[in-house]
Amino acid sequence: MRKPLIAANWKMFKTPAEATAFLTTFLPLVSQQSHAEVVLCPAMTSLAASIAAAAGSNVHIGAQTMHWLDSGAYTGETSPTMLKAIGATHVLIGHSERRQYFNETDTTVNLKLKAALAHGLIPIVCVGEHLEEREADLTAKVLELQTAVALEGIDAATAAPIVFAYEPVWAIGTGRTATPQIAEQAHKLIRNQIASSLTPAIAASTRILYGGSVKPDNAATLCCLEDIDGALVGGASLDPTSFAQIVLNSAA
């Protein structure tokens, strides 16, 4: 019922030429698979080249962030209207690096989520606890709060496209992964919060991805469990063969 989604977060890597070269190698490797939806999120300057290179394929292209307003005097920002205009289909919202280095808060996540839905962009909302929070037994509180504020004021009737990504901050780029048990528990918490904030039916159909040091060799065990509906992949998504292996290995 929930089609797995495997998303790549390229962060501040790859020029347009490098993005195009990636797609030239990557597309044939995944062209026969249909079990998962595949999304690449390049840097803003490589979006257009990636969209052109992926045209007509089974791979979608999304942004790593955006502003919530359509236009305005916000130097350096990109609006949802602009992303739609060039053919982006998805957008990451509230990645922990945005929260940590660029003042992203639960409140701006909420504004961006509403804007994405209003503009027909598929939002991938990132939530996750820091190591100190996990060690202080605050994981449930953090995940429930981040999820609840993200969903504040969202009408359940518009919520179907929303995707969440559980990304424990201590597992991002560290080589440390959550165990499948830890991830499943966190995903259940997030799903229960979605049920309280919206409806149980929306919660049952919302995809929740796992992110944090997913690699080809752990994709099969981490990507697709009862409550895990795919993966958000950073480092291992930069190499086309490695990311294609993750997509293929995630087939249940």
Contact map string, positions 214 to 243, toward ligand PEP, x by CB under 6 A: x-----------------xxxxx-------
What residue type is assigned to position 86 of the chain? Answer: I
Q: Verify whether residue 77 is a known catalytic residue.
A: no
What is the C-alpha separation between 13 and 11, in angstroms, rounded?
6
Q: Verify whether residue 119 is a known catalytic residue.
A: no
Q: Are strands 90-93 and 59-63 parallel, antiparallel or unpaired?
A: parallel
For 125, the token pair is 């909302």
Q: Interface with ligand PEP includes 213 (CB under 6 A)?
A: yes
Q: Give the other-Cβ count within 10 Å of 49's Cβ.
A: 20
CA end-to-end span of the chain: 13
Residue 240 CB, nearest approach to ligand PEP (Å): 15
Contact map string, positions 6 to 45, toward ligand PEP, x by CB under 6 A: ---x------------------------------------
Handedness of CA 196, 190, 58, 90 (dihedral sign): positive
Stretch that binds ligand PEP, among 36-44, 179-187, 205-213, 241-249 (CB under 6 A): 205-213
Q: Catalytic one among 97, 104, 167, 184?
A: 167
Q: Catalytic one among 95, 119, 129, 187?
A: 95
Q: Interface with ligand PEP includes 173 (CB under 6 A)?
A: yes
For 120, the token pair is 């027909």
Chain centroid to CA 127: 10
Stretch that binds ligand PEP, among 27-35, 48-56, 188-196, 210-218 (CB under 6 A): 210-218
Q: Cβ neighbours of residue 137 under 8 Å, at least 6 residues apart?
A: none
Chain centroid to CA 63: 10
Question: Which one, 15 or 174, has the nearer CB to ligand PEP?
Answer: 174
Active-site amino acid positions: 95, 167
- Contacts with ligand PEP by CB under 6 A lie at 9, 167, 172-173, 211-214, 232-236
